[in-house]
Amino acid sequence: MSTKNTKKTTSLNAATVSKALRDGQPVILKDTGSLCLKVHGKNRGTWIYRGRLAGITKIVEVTCGTAPETALSAARLQRDKIRLLLKDGINPNEKKKSEAG
């Protein structure tokens, strides 16, 4: 009988996010799929996705919105869009800069 060394990943829920934002203590809450919430203060946070650009080992960090304005579900949708761009070899940060300028 073989046993696999599996790492269980827990996902965030709206109640956990809301409590962390109300508390306002600087903390990083990790969600599944390399998404996290960086709490900066009372009711202030930033959703961050960390992924790899196709064929490159460097980690790309992309903002998926601010909390509480961007809900957990919306941040996950944004993460999925960003993941597809990275898979296609497009850096979302560079794309955003070129669209703005």
Q: What percent of the chain has pLDDT over 90?
A: 73
Whether 58 maps to a domain, the answer reads yes
How many angstroms separate the CA atoms of 7 and 16, rounded?
Answer: 21
Domain, as residue range, for 75: 14-92
Banded model confidence at residue 62, pLDDT cuts 50, 70, 90: very high
Q: Is residue 99 part of a domain?
A: no
Per residue in 67-89, pLDDT (tens digit) is 999 999 999 999 999 999 999 99
| Residue 32 belongs to a domain | yes
**CATH code of 73's domain:** 3.30.160.390
- Has residue 79 been placed in a domain? yes
Please check whether residue 97 lies inside any domain of the structure: no
Buried/exposed 10-49: b ≥16 CB within 10 Å, e otherwise: eebeeeebeebbeeeeeeebebeebbbbebeeeeebbbbb
Provide CB contacts within 8 A for 92, sequence distance 6+: 60, 62, 82, 85, 86
Asked if residue 54 is part of any domain, the answer here is yes
How sure is the predictor about 8, in pLDDT bands with cuts at 50, 70 and 90?
low
The burial of 100, by beta-carbon neighbours within 10 Å (0-12 exposed, 13-18 middle, 19 or more buried), is given as exposed
Structural domain includes residue 1? no
Confirm whether 63 is domain-assigned: yes
Residue 1 pLDDT: 47
Q: Is the pLDDT confidence value at 3 over 70?
A: no
Number of structural domains in the chain: 1
Cβ atoms of 58 and 66 within 8 Å: the answer is: no
